[in-house]
């Protein structure tokens, strides 16, 4: 991770969607740019500014500032203080959240109008979810770049499904696998597995996707939180459809932590892992947005117990209900797995846990940030996709780079039903921890990918070089505008 002070200094304005899965990579990108000697301003909201401002920026003397804008939650019918998607009381409110997010345009424009010509940003890097940033870029004559928090594999699959009108035939079942045309690998997907935006229908989601594509096409460059060595065929294929496609990840490698080092070093999970054998522990975590029902969590717990494998199981605050707590107590579950299983309620230092030598596998919802963190750690993954682009990510992990094992989910988790039985959990864990020759090859591939991920962001690495290319492109634009 280089600090390339000889490069020209530009002011980058970053505009993320207010949700952890976007805010974190945007913040990490700010650190990557600042390490390259650049000035960065991140658009945020008051609560998110407090949540994501950390000592890292101060300790490394990075030129990063936050621009908190009022978030109109109540104006669109959201609860007061609901400034991030992971704080929504229900996934059904996602559409209202996008509506409120788009209302950030006027106050941001007002802020830009108040700047003198020397203080204006040199480049806007916007979330793909905000097509209106193209209007701001034109009005203030600054370059604009689009940033994707997903893989090139996902982008190409989505593009080809739309281009070839794969699901335009109304008689196709939601659960009938259909081949995605013109990919480097044979990939099938069902209509039920396609990402939807909020609680919108597939048709409405297509309209939103069209807006995103139009805004992407007009951008000077497109950045992706991935690295070339992970998906070279998909990077090359998607480069045909956009201007200057550059992978600049994994961006989380530019970040140490959003909490103090002392609190992480003392976290119970890290101390507990010291008593376990190398490559023996399964780590289980489903991110900040996934809503998993009590009965499914209970079945997962039974599967972890009967696997006879040491485990760390993270249950986010919103998922740890009174009913689940009652089940834990009535079953005396934590006493039954004492010494072999650790249950964490709330936040856990995931990156630090995954990097410990005792971890042997990761049960994940296949969110892209978590997927990258597992890849960086060189771990085989057990895939349990639930929504969004997670089914795409599973196919990349299992079928393309072949470092994962499917737990057996074929449809999104939308109703209080048990999709994964304890036997499915046991079987997947056995394949990862003790999978014979095939399992050993999977571990070798995972370890090699982890090494390549770290090399990508070092001096001369593919992602580091792409970030330099972006800075030079902004220089060219500013000289010729």
Say if residue 103 is in the same domain as residue 229. yes
Whether residue 434 lies inside any domain: the answer is yes
Mean pLDDT for the chain?
90
Whether residue 258 lies inside any domain: the answer is no
Say if residue 429 is in the same domain as residue 449. yes
Say if residue 325 is in the same domain as residue 447. yes
Say if residue 173 is in the same domain as residue 240. yes
pLDDT score of 220:
96
Whether residue 6 lies inside any domain: the answer is no
101 and 129 Cβ atoms separated by less than 8 Å: yes
Whether residue 2 lies inside any domain: the answer is no
Our count of domains for the chain comes to 2
Say if residue 270 is in the same domain as residue 209. no
Whether residue 226 lies inside any domain: the answer is yes
pLDDT score of 199:
53
Structure confidence at residue 170 as a pLDDT band (50, 70, 90): low
What angle (nearest 5°) sits at the alpha carbon of residue 112, between those of residues 108 and 113?
A: 115
Say if residue 239 is in the same domain as residue 375. no
Cis peptide bond upstream of 210, omega within 30 = no
Say if residue 81 is in the same domain as residue 188. yes
202 and 167 Cβ atoms separated by less than 8 Å: yes
Q: Give the largest Cα separation in the chain, rounded.
A: 70
Percent with pLDDT over 90 in the chain: 74
Whether the pLDDT of residue 163 is over 70: the answer is: yes
Say if residue 126 is in the same domain as residue 236. yes
Say if residue 433 is in the same domain as residue 386. yes
Say if residue 57 is in the same domain as residue 110. yes
Whether residue 255 lies inside any domain: the answer is no
Across 332-356, average pLDDT: 94
Query: pLDDT by residue (tens digit) across 82-95?
Result: 999 888 888 788 88
Whether residue 256 lies inside any domain: the answer is no
Across 9-30, average pLDDT: 94
Give this prediction's pTM: 0.93
Whether residue 1 lies inside any domain: the answer is no
Q: What residue numbers bound the domain in which 293 lies?
A: 263-454
* CATH number, domain with residue 170: 3.40.50.2000
Say if residue 143 is in the same domain as residue 275. no
pLDDT score of 299:
95
Across 140-168, average pLDDT: 94
Query: pLDDT by residue (tens digit) across 253-295?
Result: 987 554 444 445 668 899 999 999 999 999 999 987 777 889 9
Say if residue 223 is in the same domain as residue 294. no
């Amino acid at each position: 991770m280089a600090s390339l002070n000889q490069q020209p200094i530009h002011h980058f304005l970053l505009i993320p969607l207010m949700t952890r899965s976007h805010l974190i990579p945007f913040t990490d990108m700010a650190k990557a740019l600042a390490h390259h000697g650049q000035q960065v301003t991140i658009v945020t909201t008051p609560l998110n500014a407090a949540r994501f401002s950390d000592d890292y920026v101060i300790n490394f003397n990075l030129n990063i500032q936050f621009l908190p804008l009022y978030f109109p939650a109540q104006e669109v019918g959201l609860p007061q203080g609901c400034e991030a998607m992971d704080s929504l009381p229900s996934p059904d409110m996602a559409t209202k959240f996008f509506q409120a997010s788009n209302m950030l345009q006027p106050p941001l424009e007002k802020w830009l109008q108040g700047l003198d010509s020397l203080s204006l940003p040199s480049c806007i890097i916007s979330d793909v979810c905000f097509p209106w940033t193209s209007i701001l870029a034109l009005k203030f004559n600054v370059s604009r770049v689009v940033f994707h928090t997903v893989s090139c594999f996902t982008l190409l699959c989505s593009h080809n499904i739309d281009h070839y009108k794969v699901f335009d035939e109304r008689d196709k079942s939601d659960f009938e696998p259909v081949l995605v045309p013109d990919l480097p690998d044979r990939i099938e997907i069902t209509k039920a597995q396609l990402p939807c935006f909020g609680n919108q229908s597939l048709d409405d989601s297509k309209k939103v996707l069209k807006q995103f594509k139009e805004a992407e096409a007009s951008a000077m460059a497109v950045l992706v939180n991935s690295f070339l060595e992970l998906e070279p065929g998909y990077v090359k294929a998607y480069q045909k459809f956009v201007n200057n496609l550059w992978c600049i990840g994994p961006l989380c490698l530019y970040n140490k932590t959003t909490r103090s080092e002392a609190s992480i070093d003392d976290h119970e999970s890290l101390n507990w892992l010291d008593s376990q054998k190398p490559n023996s522990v399964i780590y289980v975590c489903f991110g900040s947005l996934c809503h998993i029902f009590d009965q499914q969590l209970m079945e997962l717990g039974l599967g972890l117990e009967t696997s006879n494998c040491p485990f760390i199981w993270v249950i986010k605050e919103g998922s740890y209900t009174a009913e689940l707590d009652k089940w834990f107590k009535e079953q005396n579950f934590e006493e039954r797995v004492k010494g072999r299983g650790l249950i964490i309620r709330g936040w856990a230092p995931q990156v630090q846990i995954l990097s410990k030598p005792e971890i042997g596998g990761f049960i994940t919802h296949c969110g892209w940030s978590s997927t990258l963190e597992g890849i960086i750690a060189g771990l085989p993954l057990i895939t349990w996709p639930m929504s969004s682009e997670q089914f795409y990510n599973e196919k990349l992990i299992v079928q393309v780079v072949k470092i994962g094992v499917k737990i057996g989910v074929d449809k999104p988790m939308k109703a209080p039903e048990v999709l994964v039985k304890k036997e499915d959990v046991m079987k997947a864990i056995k394949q990862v921890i003790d999978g014979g020759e095939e399992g050993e090859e999977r571990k070798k591939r995972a370890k090699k990918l982890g090494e390549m991920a770290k090399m990508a962001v070092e001096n001369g690495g593919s992602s580091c070089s792409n970030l330099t290319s972006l800075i030079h492109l902004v220089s060219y634009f500013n000289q010729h505008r």
